[in-house]
Chains A and B, each alone.
Chain A
Amino acid sequence: MRRTNRALNRILLAILGIILLGAGAAVIAAGTLPGVADTWTTIGSNLTDQVRQLASTAPIPGPARSWWPVAGIGVLLLGAGLSAAWLASQGGGRTPRLAERSEGADGRTVVDVGLISAAVQDALSANRNVLATSVSAWESRQGTALRLRMEARHGSSPRELADTAEQLVRQIDSWLGHPVPVLVRITSGARTRTSGAQRAR
């Protein structure tokens, strides 16, 4: 339900994996093949020379001596910024309001998740197979979606629970007037472990 950009995660992880694989292969080659170790050193010193030459161009007064180191630091900071952006793109999208309608000058109507949450809790409090419920709303590209999490008693049938949930959602539909996408998650949790199993009937 979270708004994590999953394709971005996969692409970036794959790229970094390939880079690490390449670095590992280079280090293994340097450790096992004698010729590669020499090539490594020559390439390294060549690169150093080129960087030194580059640094002697575009001089500026002051301790930095050249624009190139300053540009290098800029690139490093850019990399840090992009990493922070990737970090910030994880998760998010939870919203406290399920539906909202503006009625022009008369104001607007907002349906809070708390209302649905209270209704669901009230409806399921008598159900012995549902130990706990939690309701949350999430923004997605297709609009706001409702997520209903039910903690099942040990051994209770998921089919029965799903049917109960479906009935409940139909009631919510007729109540709200317009259907919202609903995801029902049937899980086991702390309450499942501490409460006893279903009795035989």
Chain B
Amino acid sequence: MTQDRTLRRLVRRETHSSRALPSIIVASILLLVFLWLAAESVLWLLNDRPLLASPAHIRQWLVGLPGSTVPAGLTAAGVGLGILGLLLLGVAVGKGRRARRALASDRIATVVDDNVIAAAVSSTSRLAAGLAPGQVTTTVGGRSVRVQVRPTSGVSLDLASIKTALDGELAAYALDRQVTGKVRVANEGAVGQ
């Protein structure tokens, strides 16, 4: 049972983002701003020349901001800040799913990249219909696997066998999130395959 929980935790951590990159960026910016403000304050107390702007200047600028800036510019800056805030909030609250998913197995936790699944599905579908490489492309989305087939011109396409191969393949993977397979046949055919 504990083994099971451990494996589930491993899968969860592998298929979801840790938000390390945004955290590193934000923490670095915060660190720089705090250090800069501290340095400016020390220089100001010692009556030394400021690095960029002394705390007194920063205060004056902040208080006089609405008076010294055109309203449109102020609004635009506010919108920019708001978008940045929404972005951070979205990263924090969002699901953070990565393009990979878990495959059922008893002893180990297995996580497969979506593009590996797509390549495998393309290859099986192609072999099932007897098509040439490049005539089948697959896209793996959140809950669907879409197979796009470009049939050979003048040769009838065995759509049922592709569908069976696709369903069999997806059933064999037993992915942790249910996916539905869809086959789409392109209008134009490939010539001379």
Contacts and interface: CB of A to CB of B under 8 A. Distances in A.
Interface residues of B, number: 85
Interface of B: 2-3, 5-7, 9-11, 13-14, 18-20, 22-24, 26-28, 30-31, 34-35, 37-38, 41-42, 45-47, 59, 62-67, 69, 71-93, 100, 103, 105-113, 115-117, 119-120, 122-124, 127, 133, 169, 172-173
Nearest to B133: A197
Given A24-B81, A198-B123, A41 B112 contact: no
A92 B69 CA distance: 46
A68 to B, nearest CB: 11
A17 B82 contact: no
Interface of A: 1-2, 4, 6, 9-14, 16-32, 36-38, 40-41, 44-45, 48, 63-64, 69-70, 72-73, 76-77, 79-80, 83-84, 86-87, 90-91, 140, 142, 145, 152, 154-159, 162-163, 165-166, 169-170, 173, 179, 181-188, 197-198, 200
A157 B124 contact: yes
Given A1-B14, A181-B109, A197-B123, A44 B62 contact: yes
B26 A32 contact: no
B34 A83 contact: yes
A87 B112 contact: no
B34 A37 contact: no
A154 B6 contact: no
A108 B184 CA distance: 61
B77 A27 contact: yes
B3 to A, nearest CB: 7
Contacts of A156: 119-120, 123
Given A165-B110, A183-B109, A9 B20 contact: yes
A173 B34 CA distance: 51
Given A25-B82, A76-B34, A188-B116, A183 B14 contact: yes
Contacts of B59: 44, 48
Listed from nearest, the 5 A-B pairs whose CB atoms lie closest are A20-B85, A31-B74, A24-B82, A17-B88, A44-B63
